[in-house]
Structure 1
């Protein structure tokens, strides 16, 4: 479910640093440990007076209590809406006056924070971040304002084909697992949330034991070490998270929703692969060839270029903590939805049974290794990558290893993982559109 984020004050160019990178290897990462034992990964760059910090706590929307879906998302939206002696208006004014951008967000597995500041105001920025993380107010007015914003988005999503199809897909494939819960919750659950709920969830999710930090910019290791204790030292030592069950899949079903729209939205998915799986890089290369490579992928070529069935189609790996998925989506003319599904099924079958050519493999690896540096052209991207590496336990040397791992993928590796992921079960399809259209999808998905 997609809900518009509250706009925060930003500085033009904040997040851009003088990191003229030609490769990921140009990023030198330091492991910094504060006197209090808080660890962060740091990339120094003193060419521009800016600092970017990303951080994350384990425990996202999957930690919402039963019947209180949307609670962690509301927590993220209200954590910077007043803290300590500062009301919401005063806190936001302080950020704007100091050209500081501070925001929070949540995914399914993690609770995220981002800080962007000028060097001259970084002490104030760290102070305000610490205040938000230790003394949030959860005053009635900003909480109600955020709830109203989310409720508007939830109601709107009930008429959005993508939101409806996505929810149908996840529930069909994963049953009642917390990953199927919408991050913003339901209209009923969001409306019932209270400030007391937020305080209780804050105590459960925020703890130093799961904290991961990435910092990029105009700050040295000694200064950062002191700032880490200043910013995060007063947090509880441990969080109080519930265990999240491993994913159990029920693939092969076709689920549909009726909506009188000119295009039919189609999602499809299969059980995937986790990030620590030894086959992950091979699966990543395979997915690029199948549907992740935009203009060069099999699905793009067959569905759009040859048949004109859509403006765009793609697939991606979703390696959650509790299990992985391979997910794809396409929007097509309602009267050609069945044909679109037939083509998708054929490409999945072809990849599982035949796999790509050596030439396609070489081209995919060349693109994936050559484009990797684009992930490091801003401080914001680098800081986010530093946190992602820590969350995935990939190691501080992953930037140096990654392209070598991609280069090492062989054609046999790709064919093996394609058969493993695409040949073991039938895909789940979810379609939303007019009745004749979704019935055509049902027929095509069943091979009829």
Structure 2
């Protein structure tokens, strides 16, 4: 294709999720022409990569997409999957983005004359700026050892799990205890399935404490407005595993120890399969203790806040373990266990190979400051802790989008002013 004839846009947004559409909202408000490219359909991950009983783990009042705050009857509740989809559908209708769905971006490269060439499955376009809104969860992680497991064993990634009824009869091994792993293990457990859970290093937190949702306390304490530069871990917080908790049935703690008293079998991190046995680390007790330490630590910070502000609240408490592993089990014979399915809940890895720009560190992660990179015209939006805890969530992605669009508008104004000065000089 003749590059001189291709369509040109001031901004191209790659990704049609809540981050991309939030950016589109602010670009439209600023009067900046743009195009959104989405390889599937807008918001597709919420429908295609969530299980049937999925619900938010943050209260509905935190849903505050641009021009579209939660307006339902239960602000302190937790939207279920169908409610989330309805909320997002209404947001898309409000934004009415200039979007092309079913279009894959194959490569973004810099042009010698400035700007970018965006090669797609539907042809090429050019842009002055590119906003990467595709998130950081691209390739499901499944270990190579999975290739050596018996072919009769059903293996799914968490993104493929829907409900217990779609799995074969028998026990299920859930690998990973982050938000998805803990909640899927609970979903199977409540469905009456025998569950084996390989526990990782994910922390946990209380759902409610001293009369309020813990999220509400932390919001009052300013935690969700803390920029990444002020966090004790700085950018290292971006690598942290999310705390496990649930909004299911009105919200509650997830206590893996309690599950163990009810028949769920807990193991350490799954390391290998020797042809007969699944092999695990023997650090289960430490992982449970560490998770509880975080749980109690968060509650202690709330205690301190209440005391400092002189607030009236129910009395404090400290979680004490309801179960302890009597011994660490390093192996589980697969055939004797009755396991017929494995759900891999160990996350995703990013894939930005299509973006040809010097904006990545040695680990392949984008380098930026609140989404603005050192490469002029390249931006990121919707990544965890892009700026604050809520950057990858409904609560704060709109603020990040507004910041990026303001930067784009300022850059365009500067370019227009420079061009006017040249014309005047001529």
TM interval, shorter chain, is under 0.3
Q: Which has the higher helix share?
A: 1
TM-score (norm 2): 0.27
TM-score (norm 1): 0.26
